[in-house]
Structure 1
């Protein structure tokens, strides 16, 4: 949790996740894989890929595999009924990989899995994260930020000539003040806003939607889908 960042030398190296092979967010009545709504999952993923830390995805989460299943019900339950069930049936087929996050000619159940709304959501988030250094290594702050899930991140590396500054809001609107003037471009939609007075208001509607406005950035990264739009 963010409140514990004070105990780490550099929290940007923390691995962040919602569920795993041992841990799940729903502890009652038993430890089970994420069982919430799909838009809630999309919102969680937005936060994981834009907030500090390194996002980790438990296999199958991209298609809500074994949703709500108890991760480890004990030695007498068949593996197929657990949260660790065999996933291989869902990735049978072929695919031609062209580049990072880009592919064609997917077939079989693999094609179905890749076309799932959350799988497409993760792919776009990953492309955006890769294109914005601030989302990978930047320090975060909520100072002078109004909004429920909103923050700013900045990463600089003078030796490499990097100064990456991003404003993020998830599922709702947000206002940022005291920011550098300049042109900010939304990595999701490509929308461009020019700031001249150190203030910007970002509009974002729909649970699981997000805006990532980057100073002197580029927009329209990846293919928008059910949630990022």
Structure 2
């Protein structure tokens, strides 16, 4: 069965814990690539918290970077991209105003108009939605979507941590017909990959290119919320530099 990944969800107050729990629980499902992964929801936040997630913007960026590149289907609860109602109690019962809870009406933040030219690209906006689209986590999410869409391995590739040193580092590969997509990912920290195919790897975040001739590639720490995605024979830099992906 494909499931809601409750074990990862319960540990997203710390992305490292979510990553570790995700790896440890994968033998409990048929194929964790199709698990639904999320941080907070209409019921509760990480670690059974009854409040909307309030771990900080950098931590949110780190969670998103992990969710959009690790196995599973990333799912965003409405408003998390602007830290909507952060810290508020999600459900305080039938007597309190809905507007003060974590389930408050979000539609006002989407009022206005948007002109988009391509996937993940908002060229212009007016009204309140323009303010929403200017938020750092929105920019972060837009580029994560662009990178994920351009690299098949990040969508449905199987992952492994074999031969890898690093806190949140892994490799993913997807093959189908003429498609062979292989990506090396590290979130926040540095990493070293051994036993990988030789060839030219290009980072989808910075465009940096590294030639591997001895089966080993090392990557410096990109910083909290940031990541590196080195793709074998990849297209290079995808999207524009943002507040976290740079």
Distance 1:81 1:172 in 2: 37
Distance 2:243 2:47 in 1: 25
Shift of 1:105: 2.0
Paired residue total: 225
Secondary structure of the residue aligned to 1:34 is coil
Unaligned runs of 5+ in 1: none
Secondary structure of the residue aligned to 1:105 is strand
For normalisation by structure 1, the TM-score amounts to 0.95
Secondary structure of the residue aligned to 2:217 is strand
1:70–1:26 Cα change, 3 Å: farther
For normalisation by structure 2, the TM-score amounts to 0.89
Distance 1:108 1:54 in 2: 31
1:188 equivalent to 2:205? Answer yes
The partner residue of 2:238 within 218, 221, 229 is 221
Does the Cα contact within 8 Å between 1:50 and 1:168 map onto a contact in 2?
yes
Match of 1:155 in 2: 174
Secondary structure of the residue aligned to 1:213 is strand
Match of 1:52 in 2: 71
Match of 1:11 in 2: 32
Match of 1:68 in 2: 87
Deviations 1:160-185 (CA, angstroms, capped at 9, x unpaired): x1111000001111000000000000
1:112 equivalent to 2:131? Answer yes
1:164 equivalent to 2:185? Answer no
Distance 2:23 2:93 in 1: 33
Secondary structure of the residue aligned to 1:50 is coil
Deviations 1:128-179 (CA, angstroms, capped at 9, x unpaired): 000001000111111110011111111111x3x1111000001111000000
Match of 1:127 in 2: 146
Divergent runs of 4+, >4 A = none
Deviations 1:9-67 (CA, angstroms, capped at 9, x unpaired): 11111000001112311535xx1111111101100000000000000000000111001
Distance 1:91 1:164 in 2: 36
Distance 1:60 1:78 in 2: 18
Does the Cα contact within 8 Å between 1:40 and 1:208 map onto a contact in 2?
yes
Does the Cα contact within 8 Å between 1:166 and 1:213 map onto a contact in 2?
yes
RMSD: 1.0
Shift of 1:72: 1.1
